[in-house]
Amino acid sequence: MINKKRKKILCSLISSALLFGLAGQVSAEETVQEEFSLDEYVVTANRMPVKATEVAANVIVVNREEIERGNYASVPEILRKVNIAVEEGAGGAIPILNGDKRVLILVDGRRMNWDQIITSGSAGGYNLTNIPVKNIERIEIVHGPSSSLYGSDAVGGVINIITRKATGENTTITTEAGSWGQRRYAFSTENKLDNGFSYFITAERKKQDNYKYKDEDGHTNEFPQTYGEQDSLTFRLDKELDNERSLSLQVDYVDQDGGFGMMAPGYTYHYPYGYGSSQDNNIALTYNLSKDSFFRIYRNSSSNEVSYNGSTIGYEVDRSAVGMEWQQRMQLNDQHTLVGGVDWRQNDFEYVSQNIDDSYTTKAIYLEDNWKLPHDWTLTLGSRYDDHSIIGNHVTSRVTANRKLNEKTNVFASWGQFVKSPTVEDLFSDTQWFRGNPNLRPETGDTITLGMNTKFDQDTNLQLSVFKSRVEDAIAYDYSTTPGFAYNIDEQKRRGLDLTLAHKLSDQWSVSAGYSYVKVENKDASTGATGFTNDPDNSQPNGYRFNVQYTQDQWDAGLTLRAASGRDADAFGSRHYTVLDMAVNYQIKPETKLYLKGYNLTNEAYSLKGIGDWGTGLAYPMTKRNFVFGMEQRI
């Protein structure tokens, strides 16, 4: 153990020394950023625009065209379409990258994760159902650790949701209805004015009654307390100033309320009279000093209440985060481009039901050098220093290398460290069911990734990556006693691969296929174990995806098959599942579109969330076969 820690510290110090030595060469010359198309560049992997062929990471980009084609009602729908596992249950949705729920969610590069439990069994995070799809320009999904750039939570990867900025005058109304009373009404309007101002506004209401599901015996059941209603409003105002300067104001509001059943009927934690509500208010002001520098201030706030019996509040929490960010991109010369910045964030939280009222502050500084070498090599060296007022300070670093073999192929390798702070509940909770552990250590580790991207011809693309990750002091939960408690297990390790192949058959037909493999193992010496055992909470050991798309004249249709195998049957109710979804669009005229969506056409009984230590079986069943019909009208 000591040797491992010494190696990690040494690697971090070498990376930091190299990086800050190069930083001393910064010139005072004005930086001019080259014009670029977002279709050719990725922003999230390096916190600055970098050509997709030079990014040393497994990156998936979902653009606006794909989002509009799918008529998606939520971000989890979009992620599942590209074979990203999403754990849904108990009122929320948490993504999984590299087999890890510790994923950082960004909106326009702004941290959205809470350091509190968001859904039952989560390790903190952000509920992806809070983001209206109409507000999204593109989504960048980066597999692998990014703590050296973004700090805590960026363990399995980062998902950056980039919002839309007005490009012209346009107003759209969407209405849809479907099974078990599903209704969605959405409105968006945008305009770019002559005085340099532009605005983009969205409003949305979603409602549904209790949904139905198939149980393990094939019977159809209703899941009580799954009814709900969600209202959201977003507002973005941009002002172009002189000398490449601009201001951007973003305001988001989400209000949700409905039943809280948690587990299906027949399980210990099913609440037939449960009810919950939440409100989220976020505001951010960004001042772009140039195309290479910005300063941002923001405030995120959220409140939640849950009643397990329909009358008495059993869980009540108010939380807020105030933050400031400054980032600068600097062009040293033709070979070196630096990106660096400072983060400050204060979190305040009050648990009325648990007598917790506290706050903490995190401060960070980061710097990364993107280094162009001869023979089409690109090297990245980066480090970040974080100071957490409760957990302490940490340094995380990363080194990546990318080689462009030719115009069609690039290969890459990366090594990166990560850190994940315990949640507030892990540290301070004091209830009859769970007791916090103030002596918890943060989860730390590193990941090695190898990969390649190649284009066989104009119509065929292949993306392949493999990774190996090791976590020290991973946090686990013991519910064998009452109350339960959190503790650090000795070690956790993960390894896996991701493969995607896309081919355009003709002007009308295109297909894509994907396969992912993830193995997660734990070693817990506190139980007397001396070796590693499989983690039963691995929801997608083997993941499969196949999509076929047809486009002709006014028609646009797609079928997506999603499947998983090798799962723990006790934790999920079945070892495998196969689900078929469809989306069909018909453009009646340029301003009017009709669409039909079908989910779980195979009528599968399945779950995307494991039951953990609370029993066995299909405790969090997904919906049975259902349909949604909608119309989009541009005014």
**Quick check: 331 and 320 in contact, CB under 8 A?**
no
Structure tokens belonging to residue 26: 């910064």
Res 466 pLDDT > 70: yes
Q: What pLDDT is recorded for position 21? A: 41
Res 437 pLDDT > 90: no
Angle, CA 156 vertex, CA 372 and CA 574 arms, to 5°: 140
Span 94-104, pLDDT tens digits = 889 998 888 99
Task: Report d(CA 17, CA 32) in Å as an integer.
Answer: 27
Res 5 pLDDT > 50: no
What sign results for the dihedral spanned by CA atoms 12, 16, 17, 22? Answer: positive
**Quick check: 411 and 27 in contact, CB under 8 A?**
no
Q: What pLDDT is recorded for position 398? A: 94
**Quick check: 235 and 201 in contact, CB under 8 A?**
yes
Res 92 pLDDT > 80: no
Residue 304 bridge partners (DSSP)? 278, 317
Please state, in angstroms and as integers, the Cα–Cα distance from residue 359 to each residue in 74, 115, 247, 296, 321, following that order.
32, 11, 30, 21, 10
Q: What pLDDT is recorded for position 426? A: 84
For 535-561, what is the HEC assignment?
A: CCCCCCCEEEEEEEEEEECCEEEEEEE
Angle, CA 108 vertex, CA 34 and CA 74 arms, to 5°: 130
CB atoms within 10 A of CB 148: 29
Identity of the residue numbered 468:
K
pLDDT band per the 50, 70, 90 thresholds, residue 411: very high
Q: What pLDDT is recorded for position 429? A: 80
**Quick check: 576 and 544 in contact, CB under 8 A?**
no
Res 224 pLDDT > 70: yes
Full residue range of the structural domain in which residue 609 is found: 2-634
**Quick check: 155 and 145 in contact, CB under 8 A?**
yes
Please state, in angstroms and as integers, the Cα–Cα distance from residue 18 to each residue in 99, 330, 372, following that order.
32, 17, 15
pLDDT band per the 50, 70, 90 thresholds, residue 407: confident
Q: Which has more pLDDT, 492 or 27?
A: 492
Res 322 pLDDT > 90: yes
Q: Looking at 358-372, 556-570, 604-618, which range is the least confident one?
A: 604-618
Question: 279 in the Ramachandran plot: left (φ > 0), alpha (ψ -120 to 50) or beta?
Answer: beta
Task: Report d(CA 586, CA 114) in Å as an integer.
Answer: 40
Res 566 pLDDT > 80: yes
Q: What pLDDT is recorded for position 34? A: 35
Res 28 pLDDT > 80: no
Q: What pLDDT is recorded for position 32? A: 32
pLDDT band per the 50, 70, 90 thresholds, residue 623: very high
Query: How does the average pLDDT of the chain come out, rounded?
Result: 87
Provide the domain count of the chain: 1
Q: What pLDDT is recorded for position 300? A: 95
**Quick check: 293 and 299 in contact, CB under 8 A?**
no
Q: Biggest alpha carbon distance in the chain?
A: 71
* Residues, the chain: 635
Angle, CA 60 vertex, CA 332 and CA 113 arms, to 5°: 80
CATH number at 120 reads 2.40.170.20
Residue 439, CA atoms < 13 Å, CB-side half-sphere: 4
Res 26 pLDDT > 50: no
Helices (H), 498-594: 569-572
Q: Which has more pLDDT, 171 or 478?
A: 171
Percent of the chain predicted with pLDDT > 90 = 58
What residues contact residue 456 under an 8 Å CB cut-off, 6+ apart? 408, 462
DSSP string, 330-399: EE-SSSEEEEEEEEEEEEEEEETTTTEEEEEEEEEEEEEEEEEETTTEEEEEEEEEEEETTTEEEEEEEE
State the average pLDDT over residues 222-234: 95
Q: Looking at 7-21, 128-142, 220-234, 314-328, which range is the least confident one?
A: 7-21
Task: Report d(CA 277, CA 229) in Å as an integer.
Answer: 10
What phi and psi, each to the nearest 5 degrees, are found at residue 75?
A: -65, -40
Own/partner pairs, 61-65, CB within 8 angstroms, 24+ separation: 61/138, 61/139, 61/140, 61/141, 62/138, 62/139, 62/141, 63/39, 63/137, 63/138, 64/136, 64/137, 64/138, 64/164
Indicate the DSSP class of residue 114: B
**Quick check: 341 and 329 in contact, CB under 8 A?**
no
Percent of the chain predicted with pLDDT > 70 = 92
Indicate the DSSP class of residue 76: H
Helices (H), 413-456: 424-428
pLDDT band per the 50, 70, 90 thresholds, residue 538: very high
Q: What pLDDT is recorded for position 214? A: 95
Give the closest residue to 622 by CA, choosing from 607, 635, 609.
607
Q: Looking at 461-470, 479-488, 591-600, which range is the least confident one?
A: 479-488
Span 379-400, pLDDT tens digits = 999 999 999 988 889 999 999 9
Q: What pLDDT is recorded for position 123? A: 58
Q: How would you class 256 by CB atoms within 10 Å of its CB: exposed for 0-12, middle for 13-18, buried for 19 or more? A: buried
Please state, in angstroms and as integers, the Cα–Cα distance from residue 510 to each residue in 40, 405, 487, 558, following that order.
21, 27, 49, 10
